[in-house]
Structure 1
Amino acid sequence: MRIDRIHHVAYRCKDAKETVEWYQRMLKMDFVLAIAEDLVPSTKEPDPYMHIFLDAGGGNVLAFFELPTKPPMGRDPNTPSWVQHIALRVADRDTLLAYKAHLEAEGVSVLGTTDHGAFHSIYFFDPNGHRLELACPDPDEAALLQRMDAVKWQMLEDWSATKRAPRHADFLHRREFAQ
């Protein structure tokens, strides 16, 4: 048995139409499907909803639910806003910078560009308060990911034992690419 890919990832939105229009305008994502019901198919609960689906490229789908009968959306007060986010990949740094300029021209506050070693990112929020990240590969991505792959299990073991950040992948931020 093996997972083929993510079918879709779903989040809540405040307004389905506003969300579709924002993702179309800001991220150039196509609106691919809408489902609206008065009864939740899995639980049979009477709860009207609008479920929208957006094309995130490469067979990936980002979906949202508008739930008009539920209390307003909130965030987990114990989780920092930078933790829970949706990260979308773009082809290269030029595309990343073009998106940054486009978003800022549309009035969206953008944080970054942030160099994560193997990739570079910008961060911003959608109208629902969901943090988004656009990321592009670093030119040395393949070599860096190979080095990171070699230390991932030891990093996880060390973290599990100490709950302190292990230093096995410090090379990412020091940009030391010794061969």
Structure 2
Amino acid sequence: MRPVDPRSPHAAPPPSRGVHHLALNTDDMKATIDFYAGVLGMPLVHALRVPPGVGVGPGNRGNPPFENLRHYFFDAGGDSLVAFFEIPKGAKPQADRNAVAAMQHCSFTTTPAQFDAVMQRLRDAGVDVLGPIDVGAGTQSIYFYDPNGIRLEYSCQHGDGDNPRVLERWTQTRDEALGELRTLSDDAQWLDAVTRHLPASR
């Protein structure tokens, strides 16, 4: 078993070190660039066209089923990316974010200085912002929509300063998790299996 991340308060190391990229869809790449790079300050770092045969051909690996799509990547911070495919206008309807298998929203971690700066950038751009709202675990969030109708969130743990510790804040004790999980199942073996890695106390 590989060593547990020293920042992790639980004892079950995941098989990845985080999100590589989140792939989303737009039908207006220019407006998407203007919002993510210009308003949110996420630099565009990679711009490509999907290679021939990957859209509708035998090489499709789950990409949108169109040829010659733009696929652009933005630096989301923390060594992770947000990517967009540009779907042809009118080819697909706008998704219901509350549908099963849809992305309900995406939250980005910020420091207090970043949190204040992004709120100001959004307000300066005339974007409607909900919050800041206390969302639990010592975290405040703001919510807003991008030009594609994607719900986004910025989350800040003010007490962490410039070193956000998301796992430390959000990992429950075993008893806290069991209090909710017992509403889902009374299988003691299953409950033990999904909570044994959690700490006994904070």
TM-score range, shorter chain: 0.7 to 0.9
Give the corresponding residue for 1:158.
Answer: 182
Give ranges in structure 1 of 5+ residues lacking alignment.
163-178
C-alpha deviation, 1:116, in angstroms: 1.5
Equivalent residue runs for 1:122-133 within 5 Å: 122-133=142-153
Q: Deviations along 1:60-95, whole A, 9 cap, x unmatched? A: 100010021762341237539xx7111111112x43
1:47 match: secondary structure: coil
Give the alignment's Cα RMSD to 1 decimal: 3.2
Q: Given residue 63 of structure 1, which amino acid in structure 2 is its aligned partner?
A: A
Cα distance in 2 between the residues matched to 1:133 and 1:150? 28
Q: May I ask how many residue pairs the two structures share in their alignment?
A: 160
Q: Given residue 148 of structure 2, which amino acid in structure 1 is its aligned partner?
A: N
Q: Is the 8 A contact 2:111 2:158 kept in 1?
A: no
Give the corresponding residue for 1:99.
Answer: 118
Q: Deviations along 1:27-76, whole A, 9 cap, x unmatched? A: 11110111213432642866231111000011110001002176234123
Give the fraction of aligned pairs with identical amino acids, expressed as a percent: 31
Ranked by relative contact order (alpha carbons within 8 Å, sequence separation 6 or more), the top structure is 2
Equivalent residue runs for 1:71-110 within 5 Å: 71-76=91-96, 79=99, 84-92=104-112, 94-110=113-129
TM-score (norm 2): 0.67
Q: Deviations along 1:139-171, whole A, 9 cap, x unmatched? A: 2787x8377234453044223149xxxxxxxxx
Q: Given residue 128 of structure 2, which amino acid in structure 1 is its aligned partner?
A: S
Are 1:66 and 2:61 counterparts? no
Give ranges in structure 2 of 5+ residues lacking alignment.
1-13, 187-201
Name the structure with the higher helix share. Answer: 1
Q: Find 2:67's aligned residue among 44, 47, 61.
A: 47
Name the structure with the higher strand share. Answer: 1
In the TM superposition, structure 1's runs of 4+ consecutive aligned residues that sit over 6 Å from their partners are none
TM-score (norm 1): 0.74
Q: Is the 8 A contact 1:39 1:46 kept in 2?
A: no
Q: Is the 8 A contact 1:34 1:52 kept in 2?
A: yes
Cα distance in 1 between the residues matched to 2:184 and 2:75? 37
Q: Given residue 21 of structure 1, which amino acid in structure 2 is its aligned partner?
A: D
Closer, same or farther: CA 146–97 of 1 in aligned 2, 3 Å: closer
Q: Given residue 40 of structure 1, which amino acid in structure 2 is its aligned partner?
A: V
Cα distance in 1 between the residues matched to 2:98 and 2:105? 15
